[in-house]
Amino acid sequence: MTVRGCTVVLHDDSVSQEKVLCGVDVLPLGGLAYLEAPGANRLCIKSRQSGRNANEISLHVSLALRFGYQNQITASLKVLNDPREATATHIELFFTDKNLSRSDMWRISQHLDQAVCYQGQKISLMGSVMAEIVAIYTAGRKVSSAYTTEMHTKPIFRSGNARFTLLVQVSKEMLEYWSHGDLMYEVLLTGFLPELFRRWQELNVSHQVSLVLFGRICAPADPSVADFYHVIAPDMVRISPTELIRVLKKAIHDMKLPRDVTLAAKGNMLEAIHMASIGYAHDKIDPHLSCTGSSIIAVTAGTGVFETTHDMLQNTTRLLMGSSIGVDIVSLAANPLHPAPLFSYQRKNQLEYALPHWVNISYWQDGGAHWVLPGCDDGVIDVALPPLGVGEYTAESMNAFDEGVFGSPPVQKLPVVKKAPSRSFASRKISLGPKGLVPGKGTASVSVSIENVEHERDSFPSPQILPSDVKGAAMQIRHSLTKKRSQQSIASQSTAPVDIPKPVDTRPSGNGSLLEDSLFNLADEQESSLTTLKASLDPFSDAVKAAEAEGAWETCPWLTLLNPCNPKVGNIRVAAQYRQWQNVFPETVHSSDFKWASMCSPAALPLTTDYRPTQRELERYPHKLVRRLLIPKECSMDVIVEGLVLTRLTMGFQIARNRLSVASVGESRSGERILLSLGNLHHELQCLSDTEVQIVEYAIHESGSTQKDSYRAAIKTIYSDRARIFNIPLTASKTQLDWPALDDCIVSENPSSTTPAGSSKMRLVLLPVESQSASLGRGLTDDERHIEGIQKLTQLWQRSRFFTADGQKYLASLASASSVDPNPLSIEYQTRDPSAVVNAWEPIPYGNGVAMAPLFAEAEMFHSSNFDVHRLVKQMQEAPPHGVELRDRRWLTRLHLKCFRGDEMVNWLLRVFKDVASRDDAVEIGNELMKRGIFSHVRRKHDFRDGNYFYQIASAHRTVETLAQVPSPSPSSSHEVDKAILLSEALLYNVSPKPPPEAIVLHCDRIHNPHNCYRIQLEWVSTPAFLIREAVTRWSGAAESYGLRLVQVPLFEVCSLPKLYPFDQPVCIPLAIAVGKSPKHGEEDTTNESQRDRQKCLLRHLDFVLDTEPASAFSAEVRYSFGKLETAMVQFVHRTGLVLAQMDLERVYLAPNRLHSTTDKEVVREIISRVREFCMDEGSLRTFWEDLSQEGEN
C-alpha cells in the first residue's frame, strides 16, 4: 500500500457525469485507492477517467456532499496493490414500487461488476432508477464504500413493496395465557404489531398485506373439518396500522371465532403456511407489476414446537424449494433451550423432530424475562447449588478417555487383505449430546452411540453415495450424513459415554481415489491436532463443520433430530444460513436475534449459492438428460449463454459458485461449465465450440406423496357471513417446465408468437365507462367512443409491433397511401356477443360444393400503408375467388404456362385492399410487387399494366406447382380445418423504447361488442417486468380519454381461483328463483341458449360487463391464439373492475379482483351486498324475470 498526498476539488454535471476524476500523477487509470481527509469519511475510489490536473482528485458535488469533502481540501490517498483488500463481500440493494425479476437482478449485478459502490448510490437500468444501495459489507464489517465484483460480491436485493400474509394462530395460549399482566393476544396487539408497522413507516415501505386468523378446534362437530381460517383483511394495499390493529382486535373478540381451540403445538401451523404459500408459488401467473417478493409471518403463542405429519412437511418443503417466499415465525413465548422451530411427526412408530431450513423464528420479548404460566404457584423457591470443583486432572482424564475411544491407532504399512463386508458406520445414528449441531466451546459432554442401529429411508430420494474408505471420526460423520442426505438423523441415545473399549475400525480399503485419500489425510490431520490441544474444541463439532464445509447436507430439505438438545444461548446459527438463503446473511445471525430485516424488507432468493456438488456426485444422479443446441452464425455465443442462464434464474435456479462460474456467464469460453441448481435439480451449461452449447440436466424424480390430495378446512372471508367448508389441494406444485422449448426461444433467431409452458402470463380487459358528456363536442355516442379508443390503441400496438428479420423483409408500404390503417388488426365490431356471431355463421353454396363464408371478411383484407407481401403472394395463388386465376395462355404462336392477365390482377387487388379504390392505385401496387421480383412479364418487355398483358410468378415465390403434387385433402378433413374459428390474434410487441428490443406476445380479440370487455393477454419469458408495466401504463392513459378503463384480471375463472389462491374463496349467493323456471307457470325452460341469455341479462342489470363465454356456448369449434379457454360458466366483470362474477342456473358466484391496483374493500362489500340483496329478494327477482319474458315475447 502506497500513501500519496493530493488535493480534492469538486465538479458538476457540466464538467463530467463521472463521480471521480483522478490525476495521472496521483492515481493512474484503473487504479484503486482509499481517499481520506480530516472531517470526511473514508472513500474508496477507482480511476476511470483522468482529471485536468495531474495532482488532484475531482469528486462530483453529490458524492462530496455525501462523504463530507470540501473544495480544495488536502487529503491522503492510499493506493491498493491488491483489489481484494477493498472488495465487498455483500452489498444490500433496496427497491420499492418496482417489479424486479431475477433476470433484472442479474443485470444489475453485472452493472456493478468492477465498480466502486457507496452507500446511498442509485442504480439505474435501461434508463430507469431501479434500486438504492443501503449497506455494504466487507468480511462481515459494514463500510460506506467498497469495490464490487461479480465473482466475490454477493448482492442482496430487499423489497419495499412485497406481498405479506400475516398469520395469527388462535390457540389456547393465545386466548388464555398471560405475560406481564397481559393476555397473549394483547401482547400481539400492543407490542409486536405496532413495532412492526412503526418500522415499516420508518423505512417508507408500501407492502400489500393480508391478515388471517387460523386455528384448530378441539372437538369439532365434523372430525374431518377441525381447522378454520378467517380472512379478516385481504390484500390491503395502503394499510393504516391503527385500522388494521382495530380490525384484528374486533375479529378476536368476535363471537363467531371458535374458542374451544387446541394448544399451539397441536394446531395447524404447517397447514396455514402451506396454504399461504400456494398463493405465492405460482408467481408466473397473474404477476403483480407493482410488487416484488412475498413473505409470510406466522405469529404464535407457542414455543416453536408444532405437531404435523411427514407427508405434510414434505409437501410444504417441495412447494417452498426454489421459491422466493420468505417464512418467519414470531413466537410470543419465551425462548426455549432447544433448537427451534421444530415440527414433530411420527414415522416408523418413532417420534422425530424436523428443523426446516426454509423458516426463521424470532421470539418477541417485551420487557424482562419474567414469565407466568397459568396454574403456577406465585411462590418460587430459589435453590442455589455450589459449582462442582473441577481440577486439572479431570480435563486430562477426559482427554485420555476421548483419545482411547475416538483416537486413531498407529497406521502400519501392511499388505492389502480382502475382508468380508462389514456393517457400514453410515447407517448408525449419531448423538451430538446436549449441543446438537452447534459449534461449542470448552469441553462439552459428547457421546457416541452405536447401539440399536436402525436404517431409515430418505424423506427425499437422493443419490446414494457409499463410502469406499472410512478413516477417522470426521469422515465417519461425513459419510453418515451423506448416506441420509434428505434427513440427518441425529439421535441422543444416552447422555453418558458408552462403555466401548475398542476403537472404531478405520483401516483403508485400498479402493479410494486420490481425492478421497486427500480428504482422509485431511481428516487425520484434524483428528491428530485435536488430541494435541489440551483445551480444544469439541472434536465432533469440528467434524460436523468439516462435513458442512464439504456440503454433505447442503441439499437436505430439513434437519431431523430424534431428541432435541439444549444448545448454548446465542451460539446456534439460523438453519437457513446453510441452505439456499445463506447468501442473504452478511453477518452471523444468532437464534436469539429478532429477524427484523426479513419482516420489514424481505430479501429475494439469492442469485448464487456456495454449495456446488462435485462432478462425481452429479454422475450418481439417477436421471440424466443431455441436449445440444446449435447456435446460428449471426448470434453471439456470449449472448446465447447469458440468455440461457437468465431464463433459469427467472425460474428460480441459482448459480453454483466456484472460481470461474460467475465470471464466465458473460464471457463464455470453450470447455467451461456453468452449473445452476434448484433443490435437487441441476442444469450444467458447457460451450463445446463457438457454435454449440451442451446442456446436461441432473434430476431426482421424487416419489409421490401418500397423503390425501385435498385438505378440508372452514374458510370465512370478510364478504361472507359464515365459514364454508372447502377442499384445498395440498400437492399443488409449480408448472412443469418445457426446457427444450424454453431454450429454443433463446437460441431461435426469430421470436415466436407462442410461448412455452412456464412463461409469465397476465390478462387485461378494457371496461366501457359511461361518460357524462359527449366526446370532445363531436357528438359521438359511448359505443362510438369506445370503438375509436380501441382503434387508437391498436394503432399504437401497430407502431411498436416487433417483426422478425424474415417478416421485415416481406413488409411493404406505398408512399402514395393517404392515411394509416384505422383498424390495423381488422377487429370485427358487432352489436351481438361472440357466441351469437359464431352461431349465426352458416355455410353457403359455392360451385359444385359447399364453402364457408368468411367470418372475418375485413381481417382477410390488406392496407396499402403496411401489408405483408408474403401473405399477399400466397393468397394470390389460391383458387378463385380467393386468388387470381392462373392458367396456360396462348399469344400468337407461343404458349405461356401458369400466367395471369394484368386486368384480372387489378380487379383482384381492388377486392383484397380495403383502401384501394381506383385502378391506378392497384397498378401502383402491382409495380411494387414487380420491383420485389414477385412476378414478371412473360417476355420481359413491360412493367405492370392494366390490360391484356400476361405475367408469371417467379419460381422462388411459386406455390401452385408444389400444391399440385400434394394430394388434396378429403372433404371431411377440409371441413374439420374450416370448422375451427380463431377468435383472437397474436402479435409480437416491443415494450422497450430504446434498443435492444424486448418483445412480448400480445393476444387480443378479433370480435368485439362495445358493451362487453375487450380482452388482452400478455406472455413473456425473461422480458423486464418494469418495461411491461410502463407499456401498460401508456395503454391505460390512451384508453381513459375514450371512456375505457384498463384493468388486470385473473387468467382463471372465478370458480377455479381457490386452486391457486386458497384464501380467495368466492361468495356464493343463491337465487330466490332459478334461471330456468318460468315466473308465471313455474315451468322449467331447458333451452341452453335461453338460459344463458337470462344469466347475461341478470348480471348486466347488476352493472356487470361480459368477459368470457364458455366453449359450450358456441355451436362451432372455436380456438384462441393463446390456447384453449378453460371456462365452464359465463364470466362477468363489474364496471368498476373490482368484482368478478359467474353464475349457473341457481347461484351467483362473486370474487373480489385481487389484481386491481386500487382495491377499495368498502366498495367491494357494497357491490356484493347489492347483488345479494337483489338475488335473494324473491319479489324483485320475480318482477325482473317477468319483464324479461315480456321483452322476449315482444
Go through the domains of the chain in sequence order and give each one's CATH number.
2-149 (2.40.40.20), 163-366+555-606 (3.40.50), 614-661+669-701 (3.30.160), 1053-1193 (no CATH)
**Residue 701 three-state SS:** coil
Mean pLDDT of 256-265: 92
Residue 293: name the closest of 104, 437, 500, 14 by CA.
Answer: 104
Specify whether the CB–CB gap between 163 and 280 falls below 8 A.
yes
Give yes or no for residue 475 having a pLDDT over 80: no
For 756-791, letters b (16+ CB in 10 Å) and e give bebbbbbbbbbbbbeeeeebeeeebebeebbbbbbb
pLDDT tens-digit series, residues 516-537: 444 334 444 443 444 444 334 4
pLDDT at 1194: 56
Mean pLDDT of 768-787: 73
Give yes or no for residue 846 having a pLDDT over 50: no
What's 497's DSSP letter?
Answer: -
Give yes or no for residue 441 having a pLDDT over 70: no
Mean pLDDT of 863-881: 80
Residue 269: name the closest of 165, 339, 166, 169 by CA.
Answer: 169
Give yes or no for residue 237 having a pLDDT over 60: yes
What's 425's DSSP letter?
Answer: G
Give the confidence band of 689 by pLDDT, cuts at 50, 70, 90: confident
Give yes or no for residue 434 having a pLDDT over 70: no
pLDDT at 187: 92
Q: What are 670's strand-pairing partners?
A: none
pLDDT at 480: 40
For the ranges 689-693, 774-778, 799-803, 1169-1173, the lowest mean pLDDT is seen at: 774-778
Decide the pairing of beta strands 1131-1134 and 1139-1143: antiparallel
pLDDT at 413: 47
Q: Classify the C-alpha dihedral 1154-1159-1163-1165 as positive or negative.
A: positive
For the ranges 199-213, 469-483, 642-656, the lowest mean pLDDT is seen at: 469-483
pLDDT at 318: 85
For the ranges 470-479, 997-1006, 1132-1141, 1181-1190, the lowest mean pLDDT is seen at: 470-479
Q: What is the mean pLDDT of the chain?
A: 77
**How many CB atoms lie under 10 A from the CB of residue 533?**
9
pLDDT tens-digit series, residues 355-391: 888 888 999 986 544 444 454 444 455 566 666 655 5
Give the confidence band of 1086 by pLDDT, cuts at 50, 70, 90: low
Q: How far is CA 824 from CA 752, 788, 793, 867, 915, in A?
A: 20, 13, 10, 10, 12
Give the confidence band of 495 by pLDDT, cuts at 50, 70, 90: very low
What's 845's DSSP letter?
Answer: E
Give the confidence band of 853 by pLDDT, cuts at 50, 70, 90: very low
Specify whether the CB–CB gap between 730 and 748 falls below 8 A.
no
For the ranges 164-168, 547-551, 616-620, 1126-1130, the lowest mean pLDDT is seen at: 547-551
Mean pLDDT of 874-889: 84
Please calculate the CA angle 223-225-228 and round it to the nearest 5 degrees. 135
pLDDT at 701: 67
Give the confidence band of 839 by pLDDT, cuts at 50, 70, 90: confident
Amino acid at 12: D
For 436-449, letters b (16+ CB in 10 Å) and e give bbbbbeebbebbbb
Give yes or no for residue 706 having a pLDDT over 50: no
Residue 299: name the closest of 351, 250, 345, 362 by CA.
Answer: 362
pLDDT at 723: 86
Q: How far apart, in whole angstroms, are the C-alpha atoms of residue 835 and residue 984?
A: 14
Q: How far apart, in whole angstroms, are the C-alpha atoms of residue 1050 and residue 441?
A: 55
1140-1143: long-range pairs with CB below 8 Å, 24+: 1140/1049, 1140/1050, 1140/1054, 1140/1107, 1141/1054, 1141/1099, 1141/1102, 1141/1104, 1141/1171, 1142/1053, 1142/1054, 1142/1055, 1142/1066, 1143/1075, 1143/1095, 1143/1098, 1143/1099
Give the confidence band of 542 by pLDDT, cuts at 50, 70, 90: very low
Q: How far apart, in whole angstroms, are the C-alpha atoms of residue 1083 and residue 1080?
A: 8
pLDDT tens-digit series, residues 804-817: 665 665 566 655 55
Instruction: Give percent of the chain above pLDDT 70.
Output: 73
What's 606's DSSP letter?
Answer: P
Give yes or no for residue 859 having a pLDDT over 80: no
Specify whether the CB–CB gap between 859 and 1006 falls below 8 A.
yes
Please calculate the CA angle 434-436-439 and round it to the nearest 5 degrees. 105
Measured torsion, CA atoms of residues 248, 251, 253, 254, in degrees rounded to the nearest 10: 170
pLDDT at 474: 40
**What are the two backbone dihedrals, phi and then psi, of residue 530, each rounded to the nearest 5 degrees?**
-65, -35
Mean pLDDT of 1072-1080: 71
pLDDT at 1157: 76
Residue 372: name the closest of 593, 168, 566, 184 by CA.
Answer: 184
Q: How far apart, in whole angstroms, are the C-alpha atoms of residue 147 and residue 81?
A: 13
Instruction: Give percent of the chain above pLDDT 90.
Output: 31
pLDDT at 32: 92
Task: Name which residue leads in pLDDT, 879 or 1134.
Answer: 1134
Q: How far apart, in whole angstroms, are the C-alpha atoms of residue 462 and residue 621?
A: 8
Give yes or no for residue 502 having a pLDDT over 50: no
For the ranges 136-150, 546-560, 894-908, the lowest mean pLDDT is seen at: 546-560
pLDDT tens-digit series, residues 99-153: 888 889 999 999 899 999 999 999 988 878 889 999 999 988 899 999 999 888 9
Residue 909: name the closest of 876, 877, 958, 867 by CA.
Answer: 876
